[in-house]
Amino acid sequence: MNSKQTLQRMDAALGVAGKTLDGVIAALAHAVSKEGRIDGELSDAYQGEIFQIAQLHSALQAARQACIYGELGNLEARLALAFGGQTLADLRGRLPNLTLHIPNAGAQAADFAANEEAAALIRETSGETFNSAVWEMLRGAAGDGVDSLGEEHRLLRSTFRAFADKKVAPMAERFHRENLLIPDELIREVSELGCFGAGIPQAYGGFQDRVDHIGVVVVTEELSRGAMIFGSLITRPEILAKALLKGGTAAQKEKFLPAMASGEKMVAISVTEPDYGSDVAGIAITARQDGAGWRINGAKTFATFAGRAELIGLLTRSEPDPALGHRGLSLFVVEKPPFYGHEFEHVPDGGGRLTGRAIPTAGYRGMHSFELNFEDFFVPAENLVGGEEGRGKGFYLQMEGFTGGRLQTAARALGVMQAAYDQAKSYAKERKIFGRTLGDFALSREKLVRMAATVQAARQSVYATARLMDEGEGQMEASMTKFLLCRQAEWVTREAQQLHGGMGYAEEFPLSRLFIDARVLSIFEGAEEVLALKVIAPALLKRALH
């Protein structure tokens, strides 16, 4: 196989697939539009199709980025071809059924399903001959392809990888099995590396001399390789920092950002409520003015790290008129002392009470996720993000933060799947069964090659989105990347566990933890259904109409 020529053919075929999918999206857009606008009720009748379109479009964009990466070398090209071929096969198999109920879309899907070049590429980039050749390259390589980073980011990766290997990974199983809180000593050590300042400008004591989302991604991936909760340490300050940088007052930025960047103040984010999860605009917790501040009343749930955190980014309903919807929400910074147990109570100087109870979870342990109850809890007026100008803008500020949080969640997924693949590769090279190593079996090689290709395509998708965000764009792409990678992390960890057999299910092997941790990724920072139906697909449909 001439990898370079085949890569060019693959990129062209993916381009044809993209045009076909665009045609399907355009047909759906016209089916669900009324008076030139996408109609919500009409769209609801196609939720199944919309969800699949979001999946296929996200995978297709990752495959195109993988082809760019494939130009760096022979192994890189083979991994890009493996992922591209799988993406083509998925499109050809799913498009005909997907378009059954979309008017005027079936012919386009049928044409692509019969595309001979796509069929030829699928044959050439799959099967035992292809997989065997790629596995031999992977088995003999120190890594699995170049990282496509510049020198500065390679140094960053090396620094945080060494810390994760030496400090985080050895503790990961204890965090998980004993449900321990990450100790302050480790937080202090990682903060000295600049971890918490990765997304904060130098003017506020941070690590950034320019906008650098790839730096944040690299740090997050490497820490998550050691333990996903360590990658999660950065997510909450990243979300609040973006909101403060977007809409905070000068005084708020000076007060909070340096303390966050240094790791002096840990951060939690409190948005989800018992009755409102991804439906952020519907939240019910209230804030009412009282003298020199506000009184908060209501309940929140799944506020990760809220016990240990000194700062909580709290989204509340500050405007009593229910007709305002999301325009009636405001964002506050709640200050409190750290608590290290599974329950806490705090009474602020202005009166009222905040109580918290840690929620037992199957995985994602080490930070504790809390139920919070606010009873006339006093927050000073200066802690309303943006001051009076910020009233009613909390939803938009929170969404600004969530964009970075979703990119970071994708990076966490990347770290988890890389850790799982690394373990599977090592095990396949050493484990003997029926007189042969596990990697000598065709089915094992097929799994391992597809896993390696998926991880590398995922990485290039995250990098591409980070570059867009550096330019002030990429909001929809961040949601697509999060949507795609979190589902992929489930598959990669599942296959790694399967290759280990019973040992993969045993708690003494890290794969059982990786598999459980991967499962939560598609739920938090925007459930995958909500991202598909309310963020990704609407953007694609609106673009198709115009």
SS3 473: coil
Determine the pLDDT at residue 525: 80
Residue 117 in domain: yes
Per-residue pLDDT of the chain (546 residues; tens, 9 = 90+): 788 899 999 999 999 999 999 999 999 999 999 988 998 899 999 999 999 999 999 999 999 999 999 999 999 999 999 999 999 999 999 999 999 999 999 888 888 988 999 999 999 999 999 999 999 999 887 677 777 888 999 999 999 999 999 999 999 888 888 888 999 999 999 999 988 887 888 899 887 777 789 999 999 999 999 999 999 988 899 899 999 999 999 999 999 999 999 999 999 999 988 876 666 667 889 999 998 999 999 999 999 999 999 999 999 999 988 788 889 999 999 999 999 999 999 999 999 999 999 999 888 888 899 999 999 999 999 999 999 999 999 999 988 888 888 999 999 999 999 999 999 999 999 988 888 999 999 999 999 999 999 999 999 999 999 999 989 888 889 999 999 999 999 999 999 999 999 989 888 788 999 999 999 999 888 889 989 998 999 999 999 987
Q: Give rounded-to-5 percent helix, strand, coil for the chain.
A: 65, 15, 25
The DSSP output letter for 144 is: S
Residue-number span of the structural domain to which 28 is assigned: 3-125
DSSP lists the bridge partners of residue 345 as 355
Determine the pLDDT at residue 281: 67
Determine the pLDDT at residue 235: 87
| 3-state SS track over 228-286 | HHHHHHHHHHHHHHHHHHHHCCHHHHHHHHHHHHHCCCCEEEECCECCECCCHHHCCCE
Contact 518, 476 (CB under 8 A): no
Residue 269 in domain: no
Contact 216, 411 (CB under 8 A): yes
Determine the pLDDT at residue 359: 94
> Which residues participate in catalysis according to the annotation?
525
CA–CA distance, 175 with 224 (Å, rounded to integer): 13
CA–CA distance, 175 with 157 (Å, rounded to integer): 23
The full length of the chain comes to: 546
Question: What Cα–Cα distance (Å) separates residue 406 from each residue in 261, 403, 410, 428?
Answer: 20, 5, 6, 33
Determine the pLDDT at residue 277: 60
SS3 377: strand
- CA torsion sign for 112, 115, 117, 122 is positive
Residue 344 in domain: no
User: Taking the model in full, what pTM does it have?
Assistant: 0.93
CA–CA distance, 546 with 544 (Å, rounded to integer): 6
Strands 286-290 and 293-304: antiparallel
Contact 498, 424 (CB under 8 A): no
* Domain of residue 41, CATH code: 1.20.140
Residue 10 in domain: yes
Those residues with Cβ within 8 angstroms of residue 284's Cβ, 6 or more apart along the chain or in another chain: 273, 275, 276, 298, 317
Residue 113 in domain: yes
Neighbours of 187 (CB within 10 A): 18
| Token pair 């749930």: residue | 301
Contact 213, 470 (CB under 8 A): yes
What is the number of structural domains in the chain?
A: 1
Strands 343-346 and 353-359: antiparallel
Residue 148 in domain: no
Neighbours of 19 (CB within 10 A): 12
Residue 60 in domain: yes
Residue 103 in domain: yes
Neighbours of 251 (CB within 10 A): 10
Residue among 474, 494, 365, 367 at smallest CA distance from 410: 474
